Amino acid sequence: MEHRPNARLLIADDHKLLAEACKSILEPRYQIIGIFTDGRSLLQAAFTLKPDVVILDIAMPGLNGLDAGEQIKRKMPLVKLIFLTMTLTAEMAADAFRRGASGYVLKQSAAQELIVAVNKVIHGESYLSPLIERDTVSCLLSQGEPHRRKITGRQTEVLQLLAEGMSMKEVATILKIKPGTVAFQKYRMMETLGVKTNAELLKYAMQHQLSCA
């Protein structure tokens, strides 16, 4: 993707003030075509507005940033993804790059790093916040997909919505499936993950950043 001063950017973060701050940093150089506070709204907007770069948080309601980014990248492979997050772990950064990320920026460094990250990814390079061990991330990527990702993409969506306190009927409405299908997916998740209670399932969701609670 060639560099253009008016490259089109989407920003998604459930903290509106932070999203607006990112906009103020980037707007002098790039065209901000939308700000969103949840993953599902971002997903719909990305397919409609066709941005060059999407800057997105990992922990967002409705649909987390990792899953939203992966779905965007699958349908729009030329889009560049930059994850903006509080999570410093190399494991999470590696997962983001597995999902199609070109950049991974820590929120505490965004004021200094965001323009640099956007410029690099537009030029076809990658960007990783210096506070994260690059060698560790590279090692994790070379090891391939971690075995702990056992549930399907649809099950992840169901789990996130349940973890946010929605009923099976509400989840079914959002995902446009039958309540019985939600119940079946929940049962299969518990079976796959080897958990027996709702509390254990919720713990798994929180450990994998599937809940903004």
Who contacts 23 (Cβ-Cβ below 8 Å, separation ≥6)? 11, 32, 35
Q: What is the pLDDT of residues 71-129, one digit of tens each?
A: 999 999 999 999 999 888 888 899 899 999 999 999 999 999 999 999 999 999 999 99
Structural domain spans, the chain = 8-142, 153-207
Burial class (CB in 10 A: 0-12, 13-18, 19+), 67: buried
Q: Tell me what the mean pLDDT of segment 3-29 comes to.
A: 88
Which of the 8 DSSP states describes residue 64? -
153-207 has which CATH code?
1.10.10.10
Q: What's the CATH number of domain 8-142, 3.40.50.880, 3.40.50.2300, 3.40.190.10, 3.90.1010.10?
A: 3.40.50.2300
pLDDT attached to residue 193: 85
Residue 132 contacts residue 107 (beta carbons within 8 Å): no
CA distances to 1, 21, 43, 45, 138 from 144, rounded to whole Å, are 27, 35, 26, 31, 10
